[in-house]
Amino acid sequence: MEHARHVFRVLLVLLLVIVVVIVGRSFLVPKSFGMYGNYRYDNVPEQMAARPPLHGGARSCADCHDERSAVLAKGSHARVSCEVCHGPLGRHVKDGDVVAKMAIDRSPRLCGNCHRKIDGRPPKFPQVVFEKHVEGGLGPKGCLDCHDAHSPKL
Amino acid sequence: MDEMPKGNPPPEPAAQPAQAEVSRRDFLARALRASGGAFALLAGGGAIASDGERYDWEAHRWAYLIDTEKCIGCGSCVRACKAENGVPDGYFRTWVERYLISPEASHVDSPNGGMDGFPPLQTAFEPTKSFFVPKLCNHCKETPCVQVCPVGASYRTKDGVVLVDGKRCIGCGYCVQACPYGSRFISPETHTAEKCTWCYHRITKGLKPACVEVCPTATRQFGDMKREDDPVRLAIAHGRVVVLQANLLTEPQAYYLGIDMEVR
Contact residues, chain A, for B202 at CB < 8 Å: 53, 55
Calculate what percentage of chain B has a pLDDT beyond 70: 80
Confidence of residue B2 (pLDDT cuts 50, 70, 90): very low
| Dihedral sign computed on CA atoms, order A108, A111, A114, A115 | negative
Task: Please answer yes or no on whether B118 and A58 come within 8 Å at the CB atom.
Answer: no
Contact residues, chain B, for A30 at CB < 8 Å: 168
Task: Please answer yes or no on whether B168 and A54 come within 8 Å at the CB atom.
Answer: no
CB-nearest to A42 from B46, B119, B120 is B46
Residue B163 confidence (pLDDT): 98
CB-nearest to A81 from B120, B157, B214 is B214
Please give the angle made by the CA atoms of B3, B8 and B9, to the nearest 5 degrees.
65
Average pLDDT over residues B61-79: 97
Average pLDDT over residues B135-157: 97
Confidence of residue B34 (pLDDT cuts 50, 70, 90): very low
What is the distance between the alpha carbons of residues B97 and B108, in angstroms, rounded to a whole number?
A: 7
Residue B26 confidence (pLDDT): 57
* Structural domains in chain A plus CATH codes: 2-48 (no CATH), 53-104 (1.10.287), 105-154 (no CATH)
Residue B11 confidence (pLDDT): 41
Residues B64 and B255: beta-carbon distance below 8 Å: yes
Contact residues, chain B, for A121 at CB < 8 Å: 72-73, 132
Task: Please answer yes or no on whether A38 and B152 come within 8 Å at the CB atom.
Answer: yes
Residue A135 confidence (pLDDT): 86
Residue B94, Ramachandran bin (φ over 0: left; ψ between -120 and 50: alpha; else beta): beta
| Chain A 55-94, residues with CB within 8 Å of chain B CB atoms | 55, 57-58, 79-81, 83-84, 87-88, 91
Lowest mean pLDDT among A44-53, A96-105, B99-108, B155-164: A96-105
Orientation of helix A2-28 relative to helix B24-35, angle to 10°: 90
CB-nearest to A57 from B14, B28, B207 is B207
pLDDT at B35 over 80: no
- CA of B93 vs chain A CAs: smallest distance (Å): 16
Task: Please answer yes or no on whether B130 and A119 come within 8 Å at the CB atom.
Answer: yes
Residue B73 confidence (pLDDT): 96
Residues B97 and A93: beta-carbon distance below 8 Å: no
Tell me how crowded residue B185 is: count the other CB atoms within 10 A of its CB: 18
Average pLDDT over residues B233-251: 96
Mutate to test the interface with B, among A20, A47, A81, A124 (most CBs of B within 10 A): A47
Residue B30 confidence (pLDDT): 53
CA dist list (Å): A111 to A42, A126, A135, B191: 44, 11, 18, 37
Task: Please answer yes or no on whether A43 and B163 come within 8 Å at the CB atom.
Answer: yes
pLDDT digits (tens, 9 = 90+) for A6-26: 999 999 999 999 999 999 999
Residue B25 confidence (pLDDT): 52
Residues A111 and A143: beta-carbon distance below 8 Å: yes
Q: How many CA atoms lie within 13 A of B213 on its CB side?
A: 28
Lowest mean pLDDT among A63-77, B3-17, B96-110, B176-190: B3-17
Residues B63 and B235: beta-carbon distance below 8 Å: no
Beta strands in A65-131 (DSSP E): 93-94, 97-98
CB-nearest to A112 from B9, B71, B117 is B117
